[in-house]
Structure 1
Amino acid sequence: MANATALLIFLLAALLLCHPGNAQQPSSSCGKSDISVTAAAAGNVVRGQREYVATIRTSCACPLKDVRVWCGGVEDSAVPLDAGVVEVDEGMCVLKRPVSKGSPAVFKYSSAVPVNFRVFNAAPAC
């Protein structure tokens, strides 16, 4: 009987510790200000346009979803964009997956001049 009581107490304690209301969660205050975008020349020239590598990353511990970045000019790229990473919608680059700390979204594009990327939206995914 003592073993059954001890087992019951253990199971109840385990359930309380695993309850989602008690779990420590990363801060959900992360947003578009936690996104940075860089573009570096890749060295190639395609149809008269320099090739660039765009990297979109976050410093936030929480992954960021629904990331949208103004990227006017990318739609005229001679280098096809990686459709698994980004799509262009009316001058806006829309990422296909959340961006996590240590796991940036990276894609190539070409342009006569570097694109001026500006973060429009990002929402916490935690």
Structure 2
Amino acid sequence: MANAAALLFLVAALLCHMRTGDAQRSCGKSDITFTVRKTGNVVGRQPEYVVAIRTSCSCSMKDVRVWCGGLEDSAVPLDASKVEVDDGMCVLKQPVAKGSPVIFTYSCEVPVNFRVFNTAPDC
């Protein structure tokens, strides 16, 4: 009887551990990163940059809003299917998924300092 109780306890503990190990941690703003680099092109006498917005979260990140002051003056038209600029705030039109960054180009005298304002995990 004692062996059956001990076995039952071990199985319950193992099941609890397996469920806890699979739990998703909460994803948020700190899971969004930006890579900005010059393309080598010049548009309207301003260098062109490409930005890649990524997430390290296993869930897609939706409703991504980013501070991007200066981007509204870009000489390169922004890809309206990916991003919209509203008073210094970039609103991404698609979720950011791990392994599938949102990428677009812009031109400015200096690279834009992107910072996440808001996002939410979609899982």
The answer to whether TM tops 0.5 is: yes
Q: Unmatched 5+ residue regions in structure 2?
A: 1-21
Given residue 72 of structure 2, which amino acid in structure 1 is its aligned partner? Answer: E
Identity of aligned residues (%): 70
User: What TM-score do the two structures reach when normalised by structure 1?
Assistant: 0.78
- Partner of residue 106, structure 2: 109
| Distance in 1, Cα, partners of 2:98 & 2:51 | 16
From 29, 37, 40, the equivalent of 1:32 is: 29
| Equivalent of 1:54 in 51, 54, 79 | 51
Displacement of 1:27 in angstroms is: 2.1
Matched position secondary structure for 1:55: strand
Cα distance in 2 between the residues matched to 1:43 and 1:78: 15
Give the aligned length: 104
Q: Structure 1: where are the runs of 5+ without partners?
A: 1-24
The AA in structure 2 aligned to 1:72 is G
Give the aligned residue type for 2:94.
R
- Cα pair distance change 1:115/1:73, threshold 3 Å: same
TM superposition score normalised by structure 2: 0.80
Counterpart residue type for residue 66 of structure 2:
V
Partner SS state of residue 75, structure 1: helix
